[in-house]
Amino acid sequence: MANKGKFNAEKMVAIDTHVHVEGRSEGNQAAEAARKYFGDSGLGSQQLPEYYRSRNLGCVVFSVDERLTGRPQASNDEVLALAAENSDIMIPFVSVDPTRGPSAVDEAKRLIATGVVRGFKLHPPAQQFHANDRIAYRLYEVVAEARLPMIFHTGHSGIGTGMPGGGGIRLKYGNPMEIDDVAVDFPDMPIIMAHPSFPWQDEALSVCLHKPQVYIDLSGWSPKYFPPNLVQYANTQLKKKVLFGSDYPFIPPDRWLEEFAKIGIREEVRPLILKENAIRLLGL
């Protein structure tokens, strides 16, 4: 039985800002390719609550609303129910596909009206849209009006890597420079650019440095592979704008945190990345 209670960020070791709630994916080619790319962690949504609670970690949880890969998805309502059952450790985000048009906007309004949604997650490569395409702007307007943060996948996608044609994933949709337009047009909507943005790391750092409401999460890569320019800026000008994220279940937090302890992040910066920046951004 979950030890339900109030989310207490101050008592937590860290807050993982990038955690997937996955449906059962046995036999799905995209899911199998992702496990091959990342290495099979053996973890899934069933283990998620106990994994994080036993390690005194908080987590931002979400699924991804997309039709390209055929991966079974947990619904937004399932994510919200899971987070409600584990409110002592979970912060619920939701996802809608902007290419669904008015129905995406209606779904966003419905979800926001629950009063429990803390943010949104979009995956332009899997949802097949440019972040600065006007097709998504009505959705952004609704999210911005609610003053909720938006996570955008950026850079190379582990989903589809190694599959014929990349499983249909077009990497161009992950270019973080397109998010610069969104940041200009929606200056009151906090934005998190997910992942080290290979092969556009300099572009991501520039957008984050230039736009006050833009952050970077470090999910989806083992820290030992972080590019030197990302480590340099995380230590200096962006030390208050970089967030711990694992990409669970693809990369387990145990592995991420162990490797993070070994890279050249300054001691005074580590607490900012692991927890304090997320506390401030998410209003915890």
Domains and CATH numbers, the chain: 9-282 (3.20.20.140)
pLDDT for residue 1 is more than 60? no
**123: closest CA among 104, 102, 97?**
97
Q: Is the pLDDT of residue 2 over 60?
A: no
Question: Would you state the pLDDT for residue 30?
Answer: 73
| Residue 38 confidence (pLDDT) above 90 | no
Q: At what angle do helices 102-113 and 76-85 cross, to 10 degrees?
A: 20
Split at pLDDT 50, 70, 90, the class of 26 is: low
User: Residue 250 has which token pair?
Assistant: 């693809």
Q: Quick: pLDDT tens for 170-193.
A: 999 999 999 999 999 999 999 999
- State residue 35's pLDDT score: 77
State the pLDDT confidence band at 24, using cuts at 50, 70 and 90.
low
Model confidence over 112-131: pLDDT tens digits? 999 999 999 999 999 999 99
C-beta separation of 86 from 46 below 8 A: no
Q: What percent of the chain has pLDDT over 90?
A: 87
pLDDT in tens, 253-265: 999 999 999 999 9
Query: φ, ψ for residue 62 (rounded to 5)?
Result: -165, 165
Q: What is the mean pLDDT of the chain?
A: 94
**HEC profile for the chain?**
CCCCCCCCHHHCCEEEEEEECECCCCCCHHHHHHHHHHCCCCCCCCCHHHHHHHCCEEEEEECCCCCCCCCCECCHHHHHHHHHHCCCCEEECECCCHHHCHHHHHHHHHHHHCCCCCCEEECHHHHCCCCCCHHHHHHHHHHHHCCCCEEEECCCCCCCCCCHHHHHCCHHHHCCHHHHHHHHHCCCCCEEEECCCCCCHHHHHHHHHHCCCEEEECCCCCHHHCCHHHHHHHHCCCCCCEECCCCECCCCHHHHHHHHCCCCCCCCCHHHHHHHHHHHHHCC
Question: Is the per-residue pLDDT at 40 higher than 90?
Answer: no
Does residue 270 or residue 36 have the better pLDDT? 270
Mean of the pLDDT values across residues 82-94?
97
Show the tokens assigned to 92. Answer: 């619920």
Res 84 pLDDT > 70? yes
CA 156, CA 158: separation in Å to the nearest integer?
7
Q: What predicted TM-score, i.e. pTM, was given to this entire model?
A: 0.94
* pLDDT band with cut points at 50, 70 and 90 for residue 29: confident
Tokens matching residue 251: 């990369």
Instruction: Report the pLDDT value the prediction gives residue 3, as an integer from 0 to 100.
Output: 47
Residue that wins the pLDDT comparison between 35 and 198: 198
Give the 3-state DSSP-derived string for 148-194, with helices as H, strands as E and coil as C. CCEEEECCCCCCCCCCHHHHHCCHHHHCCHHHHHHHHHCCCCCEEEE
Q: What percent of the chain has pLDDT over 70?
A: 96
pLDDT for the residue numbered 39: 77
Q: Which residues pair with 191 in a beta bridge?
A: 150, 214
pLDDT at 249 over 90: yes
Which of these, 181, 183, 89, 104, lies nearest to 139 by C-alpha position?
A: 104
